[in-house]
Structure 1
């Protein structure tokens, strides 16, 4: 079994130069010549297994200390995935939608604190969501249009990630503990095949302060991954998922490649791959895609 070590930096801050590649090669067993996936941005180095992939990754990170590079070590075969699931808030977009809604009722700081604790796994997701949604009572449903238009930003590399995987036959789903008011819009903007999230209850055009049950939490995210995988007759190794919070852990653990993106510490520690420096195109380079294969808008 041969392994491939992939080094990835941010497209706007290329960091993979001759020095980085040499330091990486010194940390690997019988390294082959690097294969550049994107000049200065991403490279593969095939090597022999002299320990568990996670142990080799740790060695690489130590060797590359001070260089803003993400690393992942995997088997060379089967890297390209056929099913992709993604979290939305703080993953495919840069914000937490519920925090932005709370700003309209003067409760952003309070709600953001609860959100942070829930994403760190310090409190249970479901009751924390109900508590936050209660504070939104009375907001017009149409406020979602303003939030999407004025406050939300797509994460760098996200549209390219989804378009490229779909162009190569993969199926994609946006699975969020947020709300359909936003996932419907973001899924269309990014190019996902389907989306799943929670439903805010509305009466006479205004939020009632309630969320429809059952709440889509961490087990529902995992269940969606299993459902979509089984429907397509795929092995677990054919799947990839990305997220940042504690409610993503079950989904990330179920995926063939679970990726923690700018994640909370417990999530970063548990995920198979973590992205701390690159953008979402890192998930393409981890699959062995080259820059020439990336689908642009």
Structure 2
């Protein structure tokens, strides 16, 4: 079979049952026997897509058939699914929060700062000036507060460690690239197992935050540059790479990756990414690559 359609639900709410798989298979030309990647959670349906000129239209038809079901769908060629390089955003992707919003909460400014963050992530305002404005509001916050915020307010997104450990066990390199801050990425990368991490640096004045961020700011162009740098260092083709994120500053790397994934993303990002995960956890990125639950590693 030349192509495969993958159905994915959240492991906490299994929704990929036999009836749903059968209904989807009937819409696929020459569909073969489905492969259960995890019973109730994810399945691959191979099919003959050689004569289909518009996979977008087929995907739309499948999505219409799945309407109302908490199930993600992606259609792709069957060959070359496993990736050897992953670049991942941190805030609202590998963790459940926006770090700058949680720092602002310590000063009673979370609602104000979160509103700016939301607009920047939707692409409604430029990322760099928005970051400078938000960091400026943090001036005078004790640096020691950051460790407490990480311990008390930051949670890892379900499936994240399994995603990274499984890909690394299969020879992939994994990089955390964030428009957030190194204080956070260093800790999160270590907890999940990333090979490297890159982010912005908060400048300090003694033991307080200075209210400034070191220039140049790591935004979407820098994220894309890290993708190309690592691809060249590893001697990989574009098709061997994957990028995942949720905000407008992730779009450049999502577009340039062999498989760009919008994860529980802002509408503009979801509309432009090759793949979108609206329901699944981060193990969905493994199912997209054809891994089954028996392949998963968590340590």
> Conserved in 2, the CA contact under 8 Å of 1:20 and 1:67?
no
Number of the residue aligned with 1:21? 21
Asked if 1:284 is matched to 2:282, the reply is no
Deviation at 1:226, TM superposition (A): 0.3
Q: Deviations over 1:88-114 (max 9, x none)?
A: 000000000000000111111110000
Give the alignment partner of residue 88 of structure 1, picking from 87, 90, 110: 90
Task: Pick from 180, 185, 191 the counterpart of residue 183 of structure 1.
Answer: 185
Q: Is the 8 A contact 1:239 1:255 kept in 2?
A: yes
**Corresponding residue for residue 230 of structure 2:** 228
TM-score by length of 2: 0.98
CA distance in 1, matches of 2:261, 2:56: 14
Distance 2:292 2:115 in 1: 40
Matched residue, 1:111:
113
Query: TM-score scaled by structure 1?
Result: 0.99
Deviates more, 1:57-66 or 1:31-40: 57-66
1:130 aligns with 2:142: no
In the TM superposition, what is the alpha-carbon distance from 1:55 to its structure 2 partner? Answer: 2.3
Asked whether 1:35 is paired with 2:47, we answer no
Deviations 1:57-107 (A, max 9, x none): 211111111211101111100000000000000000000000000011111
Deviations 1:171-217 (A, max 9, x none): 00000000001000000000000000000001211100000000000
Residue in structure 2 matching 1:248, options 241, 247, 250: 250
Which segments of 5 or more consecutive residues in structure 1 lack a partner in the other structure? none
5+ residue gaps, structure 2 = none
The question of 1:274 aligning with 2:266 is answered no
- Whole-angstrom CA distance in 1 between matches of 2:53 and 2:284: 24
Q: Deviations over 1:13-69 (max 9, x none)?
A: 111111101110122111111011111111111112224333222111111112111
Partner Cα separation in structure 1 for residue 62 and residue 203 of structure 2? 49
**For the residues of structure 2 that align with 1:53 and 1:277, how far apart are their CA atoms?**
22
Match of 1:92, SS state, is coil
Corresponding residue number in structure 2 for 1:157: 159
Cα distance in 2 for residues equivalent to 1:267 and 1:200: 27
- Consecutive aligned runs of 4 or more in structure 1 exceeding 6 Å deviation: none
What residue is the counterpart of 2:221 in the other structure?
Answer: 219
Partner of 2:77: 75
Q: How does 1:5-20 map to 2 (within 5 A)?
A: 5-20=5-20
Q: Contact (CA 8 Å) 1:101, 1:147: kept in 2 or not?
A: yes
- Once residues 224 and 231 of structure 1 are traced to their aligned partners in structure 2, the CA distance between those partners, rounded to angstroms, is 10
The SS at the match of 2:118 is: helix
Cα distance between partner residues in 2 of 1:23 and 1:117: 39
